[in-house]
Amino acid sequence: MFEYDIAEYSQINPDLYRRELRRLQAEFLKLQKWIIEEKKKIAIVFEGRDTAGKTGSISVLSKYLIPEHVRLVKLGIPTKWESTHWFSRYEKHMPETGEIVFFDRSWYTRALTEITMNYCSQRQYKNFMKRVIPWEKELLENGTEIVKIYLSVEKNIQKKRFEKRRNSPLIFWKFSENDLKVADRWDAFTFYKDQMFSSTSHEESPWVIINANTKMVAALNSLRYILEKFDYPEKNIPKPKVWSEGMNIYNLKINGVLFENLSYDQFKVLNSFADES
């Protein structure tokens, strides 16, 4: 388990983000082309608390990939059979040759939300924690590579994002009272999250923790980490640029009102109130 954070991204603004993202997305297409040609199988797991930006990050990463060779897996409430055959539930969704599969929450739901909310028993939880590494190693031996990304968000940021969802005429449907129930068990979730990191991060498939307090930064860091993980032909990941704090080059919208030509310090203060993209 380790944290991945490109320091230069902490000063990025939306315009610069789009330029950097375009470069990295073009590089991701090179990686996908290699995956297809070499018949690789790549499973990319995104885990994190509610509002951490899992769905949004996957959408950004996968936007320009060749659709025939990429899938999103986002499973709902398990059936009674699936709950008692947990790994079988996910085995049928694993990538085929030449394919990337993004998991928006994964088998690790059992180690996080399920046990936090008592949706599974302690016996089921312990069985999962005992079996998950051997299960993953079997997948690895059969040619499936697993990338495990955890998007980390602070409690106050999550609260602000919940409020934005609740009050937004466009994304109010993302908010549910159950979200608040999970948030109320913040400390319990933290306990099980730490247990997951310490028990399920192994050399062949470690957990990487990415700060998701700023969604743009989380998406760039996630994309760059995946690109750095693989050796593919014509690999040329651009160095992250250094953006000046002194230049008035930052813009954002708050409740639909555009604020332009902000300094970095102004942008940093106001960014937590910005409209969600």
The tens-digit pLDDT sequence of the chain (277 residues) is 889 998 889 888 888 899 999 999 999 999 999 999 999 999 999 999 999 999 999 999 999 999 999 999 999 999 999 999 999 999 999 999 999 999 999 999 999 999 999 999 999 999 999 999 999 999 999 999 999 999 999 999 999 998 888 888 778 778 787 778 888 999 999 999 999 999 999 999 999 999 999 999 999 999 999 999 999 999 999 888 776 555 555 677 787 788 877 765 676 677 767 776 5
**Which pLDDT score is estimated for 167?**
83
**Which pLDDT score is estimated for 234?**
95
Which tokens is 121 given?
Answer: 């028993």
Q: Which residues contact residue 174 at a Cβ distance below 8 angstroms, ignoring those fewer than 6 apart? A: 165
**Which pLDDT score is estimated for 197?**
97
**Which pLDDT score is estimated for 168?**
80
Q: What CATH number belongs to 2-243? A: 3.40.50.300
Global confidence as pTM = 0.87
**Which pLDDT score is estimated for 95?**
98
Q: Give dist(CA 28, CA 99) in Å, integer.
A: 13
**Which pLDDT score is estimated for 264?**
58
Comparing CA positions, the residue from 28, 103, 19 lying closest to residue 64 is 28
**Which pLDDT score is estimated for 33?**
98
**Which pLDDT score is estimated for 15?**
86
Q: What does the domain layout of the chain look like in residue ranges?
A: 2-243, 248-277
What string of H, E and C letters represents the secondary structure of 58-101? HHHHHCCCCHHHEEEECCCCCCHHHHHCHHHHHHCCCCCCCEEE
Say if CB 71 and CB 19 are below 8 A apart.
no
Beta-bridge partner residues of 209: 3, 150
**Which pLDDT score is estimated for 237?**
92
**Which pLDDT score is estimated for 276?**
63
